[in-house]
């Protein structure tokens, strides 16, 4: 298993009430697998993805990525595993506007988890941009790109450190149907045959059907 989460609990404590979001959710993903997560708005899909990706610590339960436990060690260890093993793609791209596209793609490598030189990072970023069809946009700023192009940059960035798993939270949520289809095709072409697994939150039944498995997050559990 490339990703194994067991018995996740997560509760938000607000001043006036407690919101129980995850109530024992478990998931196992093998190398190369594509898994869709569906569920109604507010079901906790983004929360789950953040917990799986080392961005948000669960109250209890464990998350193992390639056999390494994310949350038992220090925050620093968690960040190191995350940077080496996990690529994140958000609905709203989250690119840094002041950096050009190439620098955005290089960012995950700059955290120091790779042994690449700056020159090698740049070469790899450019090769990833070519892979996602954006060679001719490498010196542009994110806001000079269309939504679909920005999301392809985000996917290239997610691939920078050669992760084992990409976690994508409604990656086509901001895109029109055709552009969204291209982004999905890209995610699918990257996964499946090799080691890279993809776990994606989607509202689209068609997208969910293309995945190897579809899980619904309901009442805090994955079913
Ligand atoms: N930082 C937070 N503080 C307090 N409550 C939160 C926080 N983040 C999420 N919640 C609550 O947790 C619940 C789940 O939120 P989450 O964003 O995970 O849902 P979702 O399934 O991704 O929804 P959507 O499909 O609309 O994106 C929501 O009811 C929300 O109110
Ligand atoms: Mg969400």
pLDDT 10s digits, 58-103: 999 999 999 999 999 999 999 999 999 999 999 898 999 999 999 9
Q: What pLDDT score does 194 carry?
A: 86
Q: How confident is the model at residue 223 (pLDDT cuts 50, 70, 90)?
A: very high
Query: In Å, what is the CA distance from 200 to each residue of 14, 22, 98, 117, 154?
Result: 28, 17, 28, 32, 14
Q: What pLDDT score does 15 carry?
A: 95
Nearest CA residue ID for atom 14, ligand 1? 44
Answer whether 46 contacts ligand 1 (Cβ < 6 A): yes
* Closest to 9 in 3D by CA, of 70, 61, 71, 65: 61
Q: Is 3-96+163-222 assigned to CATH 3.40.50.300?
A: yes
User: Which residue, chain included where needed, has tokens 């901001």?
Assistant: 174
Identify the H or E element spanning 207.
helix 205-210
Q: What pLDDT score does 115 carry?
A: 86
Pairing status of strand 3-13 against strand 165-169: unpaired
User: Which residue, chain included where needed, has tokens 């906790």?
Assistant: 44
Q: What pLDDT score does 134 carry?
A: 95
Instruction: List the chain domain ranges.
Output: 3-96+163-222
User: Which region holds residue 25: left if phi is over 0, alpha if psi is between -120 and 50, else beta?
Assistant: beta
Q: How confident is the model at residue 111 (pLDDT cuts 50, 70, 90)?
A: confident
Q: What pLDDT score does 113 carry?
A: 78
User: Which residue, chain included where needed, has tokens 């596209």?
Assistant: 101
Q: SS3 for 151-178, per residue?
A: HHHHHHHHHCCCCCEEEEECCCCCCCHH
User: Distance from the CA of 122 to the center of ligand 2, in angstroms?
Assistant: 32
Q: What pLDDT score does 69 carry?
A: 96
**What is the pLDDT of the chain when averaged over all its residues?**
94
User: Distance from the CA of 91 to the center of ligand 2, in angstroms?
Assistant: 9
User: Which residue, chain included where needed, has tokens 């086509």?
Assistant: 172
Q: What pLDDT score does 68 carry?
A: 95
Answer whether 92 contacts ligand 1 (Cβ < 6 A): no
Angle, helices 177-190/147-159, rounded to nearest 10 degrees? 10
Q: Rounded CA gap, 194 and 217, in Å?
A: 27
Nearby residues of 40 by Cβ (< 8 Å), 6 or more positions away: none
């Amino acid at each position: 298993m490339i990703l194994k989460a067991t018995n996740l609990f997560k509760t938000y404590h607000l001043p006036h009430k407690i919101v129980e979001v995850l109530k024992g959710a478990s998931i196992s993903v093998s190398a190369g697998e594509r898994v869709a997560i569906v569920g109604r708005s507010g079901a906790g899909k983004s929360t789950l993805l953040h917990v799986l990706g080392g961005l948000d610590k669960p109250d209890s339960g464990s998350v193992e990525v390639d056999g390494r436990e994310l949350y038992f060690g220090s925050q620093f260890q968690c960040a190191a595993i995350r940077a080496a093993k996990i690529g994140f793609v958000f609905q709203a791209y989250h690119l840094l506007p002041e950096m050009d596209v190439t620098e955005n793609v290089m960012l995950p490598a700059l955290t120091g988890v790779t042994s690449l030189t700056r020159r090698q990072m740049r070469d790899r970023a450019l090769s990833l941009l070519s892979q996602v069809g954006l060679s001719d946009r490498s010196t542009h700023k994110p806001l000079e790109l269309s939504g679909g192009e920005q999301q392809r940059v985000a996917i290239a960035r997610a691939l920078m450190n050669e992760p084992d798993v990409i976690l994508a939270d409604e990656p086509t949520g901001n895109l029109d149907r055709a552009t969204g289809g291209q982004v999905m095709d890209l995610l699918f072409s990257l996964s499946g045959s090799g080691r890279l697994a993809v776990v994606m939150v989607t509202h689209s039944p068609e997208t969910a059907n293309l995945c190897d498995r579809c899980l619904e997050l309901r009442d805090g559990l994955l079913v």
